[in-house]
Amino acid sequence: MLTGRCACKTVTYAVADEFVVAYNCHCSNCRAMTGSAFLPWGEIEPEKLRVTNGEDSLILDGDPHSHHAKRCGKCFSLVYWTGYGGKIRVPYGSLSEEPSLKPMAHMFVGSKAPWYEIRDDLPPHDDTPGPTSELAKSRDCRTGLTAIVHQSRAPPRLSLAAKAARTPA
């Protein structure tokens, strides 16, 4: 088992070291969400992740019966989000240990940050690797998560970036 946590350490989790795919995503949404050049993530069955502390601090962002994310309600760190085919995606940056499955490729490099140069030997893909799918058609690895704003019946929550934009410097 691997362990992981949010930024403020309120939420911790254990996840089986059994990720089925892992990628470095360079889409504009992942870059904006992380404030980084890309987001490494692994996909796994939801029953293989167990929140070990702070479950009452998790907030649901989106439709619980469709695409959604779980975030820490204190620091707003992304703990996981729904993928496709009934799986969830876990941001590798939140893991405390090294997963066995390393990222297999870079995805959405067609929208990567122009200032970032990929210097490893992982294959680059302009969209998603593999056969054409809902993901490839979406042109965004997190479309399901992005669509939350449109699907959610609850009023949208402000992200940290949105809150910061409203706060005078």
Dump pLDDT digits (tens) for 38-97. 999 999 999 999 999 999 999 999 888 888 999 999 999 999 999 878 999 999 999 999
Domain count across the chain: 1
Exposure string (b/e) for 41-77, b if CB count within 10 Å is 16 or more?
bbbbeeebbebeebeebbeebbbeeebbbbbbbeebb
Cα angle value 146/86/42 (rounded, 5°): 70
- Picking from 33, 147, 40, 26, the residue whose alpha carbon sits closest to that of residue 84 is 147
Residue type, 26: H
Beta bridge partners of 4: 13, 95
65 within 8 A of 71, measured Cβ to Cβ: no
Question: What is this structure's pTM?
Answer: 0.78
Spatial separation of the C-alpha atoms in residues 115 and 96, rounded to whole Å: 28
Report residue 96 CA to chain centroid gap.
16
Q: Is the pLDDT of residue 101 over 90?
A: yes
Say which CATH number the domain at 140 has.
3.90.1590.10
Q: Which domain holds residue 18?
A: 2-166
pLDDT grade, residue 129 (50/70/90)? confident
Q: Quick one: 157 exposed, middle or buried, by C-beta within 10 A (0-12, 13-18, 19+)?
A: middle
pLDDT grade, residue 168 (50/70/90)? low
